[in-house]
């Protein structure tokens, strides 16, 4: 009777098998992470689902003009913040820079409308306002801008002179709201110009078109072009565009040759933390959420392909750094060094490419579309001075 012998594997051979299994599972995990990152990245890029202005709800302690809040990332934000007590209280306050005291933050009241009582539960935010121009005591009109794809809601603040001449068209960003730019409204009013706070297709509160996808500034530019038609129909003779984040890309996309001549002249463009290169932004976002640089680059390439496949997105059409040589109007540019959404390198590149037309304010410590908060007076002075120059230059 033959005895069957079992072949024993040597220790090195066993090690190779284990190593192979580990590498196999690592490859599977990497592929899964890459796939999930691609799907999430494409969804975030294509859609805008934010309904409310970012902020936190906090209890308020008050003693005189000092406000005490829990120490949270939002309440610790550099510069000023806004605070709005919940109903039945009515009011709004702008609070000064923070001073940390243990687990609390103390801020002084700089401006106050209504009453911010001790013990109130309130919304606090570095975006300062979360309502309409009425929150600042400013008269305005709810209106709509007629576009080829529907009626886009807008706020119109008439010029202080009462006679329409120059209109500043304010464009929010991806997932943004019109109220995010209310911080700048007093400065816009001091220019003497009228203001139109617009929105665009597939943003919250605007008409949903097709599958609800954004084109990152490409087709949204048509809605701002329609706002120029609105301005002309309402007696305005010229305009300045003012875009935040993706709204900055929308503003620059309006300048394309295919849209010219404009219904009324565009004298200049103001940009706050603009998205100028979406390929770079998508890669940056991957690294922001902890992906290693190599994986972030790979994920970004897959996100771009998936976005293009799902929506037909043309990334070249919204590459404003590539388009920079063709810009002909003055540009006022703000960007913050602590921006974690859009890399400041994009603003640096635009300023370096076109120093002849770009006035660049590189704000130390400024977060995404919150550079105003660091030094409101300096920011407002830059806006007012820019508008005065471009309007005055026309005569």
Express each pLDDT in 272-327 by its tens digit.
Answer: 999 999 999 998 888 777 777 887 788 888 888 988 898 899 999 999 999 999 99
Backbone angles phi, psi at 204, to 5 degrees: -60, 130
Helices (DSSP H) in the chain: which residue ranges? Answer: 11-46, 185-190, 220-233, 246-254, 278-288, 293-311, 320-323, 344-353, 376-392
What's the whole-number mean pLDDT along residues 15-21?
60
- What SS3 state is found at 253? helix
Backbone angles phi, psi at 272, to 5 degrees: -120, 110
126-135, 140-149, 191-200, 299-308: least confident range = 299-308
The predicted pLDDT at position 179 comes to 95
The predicted pLDDT at position 38 comes to 73
The predicted pLDDT at position 44 comes to 76
- Separation of alpha carbons 145 and 216, rounded Å: 20
pLDDT at 353 over 60: yes
pTM of the shown model: 0.90
pLDDT at 51 over 90: no
Backbone CA torsion sign across 6, 12, 13, 14: positive
Between 134 and 4, name the one with better pLDDT: 134
The predicted pLDDT at position 15 comes to 58
Closest CA to 224 of 191, 204, 200: 200
The predicted pLDDT at position 87 comes to 74
pLDDT at 33 over 70: no
pLDDT at 5 over 60: no
């Amino acid at each position: 009777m033959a005895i069957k012998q079992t072949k024993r594997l040597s220790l090195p051979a066993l090690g190779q098998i284990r190593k192979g299994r580990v590498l196999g599972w690592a490859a599977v995990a990497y592929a899964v992470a890459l796939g999930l990152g691609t799907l999430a990245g494409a969804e975030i890029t294509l859609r805008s689902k934010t309904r409310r202005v970012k902020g936190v709800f906090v209890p308020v302690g008050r003693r005189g003009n000092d406000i005490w809040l829990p120490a949270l990332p939002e309440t610790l934000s550099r510069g000023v913040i806004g605070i709005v007590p919940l109903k039945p209280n009515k009011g709004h306050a702008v609070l000064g820079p923070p001073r940390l005291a243990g687990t609390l933050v103390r801020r002084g009241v700089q401006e106050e409308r209504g009453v911010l009582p001790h013990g109130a539960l309130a919304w606090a935010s570095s975006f300062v306002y979360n309502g309409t121009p009425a929150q600042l005591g400013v008269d305005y009109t709810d209106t709509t801008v007629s576009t080829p794809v529907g009626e886009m809601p807008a706020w119109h603040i008439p010029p202080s002179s009462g006679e329409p001449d120059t209109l500043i068209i304010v464009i929010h960003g991806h997932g943004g709201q019109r109220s995010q730019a209310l911080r700048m409204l007093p400065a816009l009013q001091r220019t003497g110009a009228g203001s139109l706070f617009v929105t665009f297709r597939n943003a919250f509160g605007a008409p949903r078109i097709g599958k609800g996808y954004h084109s990152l500034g490409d087709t949204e530019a048509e809605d701002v072009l329609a706002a120029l038609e609105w301005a002309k129909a309402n007696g305005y003779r010229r305009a300045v565009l003012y875009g935040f984040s993706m709204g900055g890309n929308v503003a620059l996309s309006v300048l394309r040759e295919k849209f010219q001549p404009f219904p009324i002249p565009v004298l200049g463009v103001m940009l706050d933390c603009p998205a100028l290169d979406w390929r770079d932004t998508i890669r940056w976002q991957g690294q922001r959420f902890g992906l290693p640089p190599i994986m972030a680059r790979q994920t970004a390439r897959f996100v771009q392909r998936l976005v293009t496949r799902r929506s037909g997105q043309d990334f070249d059409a919204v590459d404003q750094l590539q388009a920079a040589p063709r810009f002909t109007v003055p540009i006022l540019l703000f960007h913050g060094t602590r921006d974690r959404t859009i890399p400041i390198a994009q603003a640096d590149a635009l300023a370096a490419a076109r120093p002849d037309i770009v006035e660049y304010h590189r704000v130390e410590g400024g977060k995404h579309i919150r550079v105003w908060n660091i030094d409101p007076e300096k920011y407002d002075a830059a806006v007012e001075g820019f508008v005065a120059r471009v309007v005055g230059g026309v005569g």
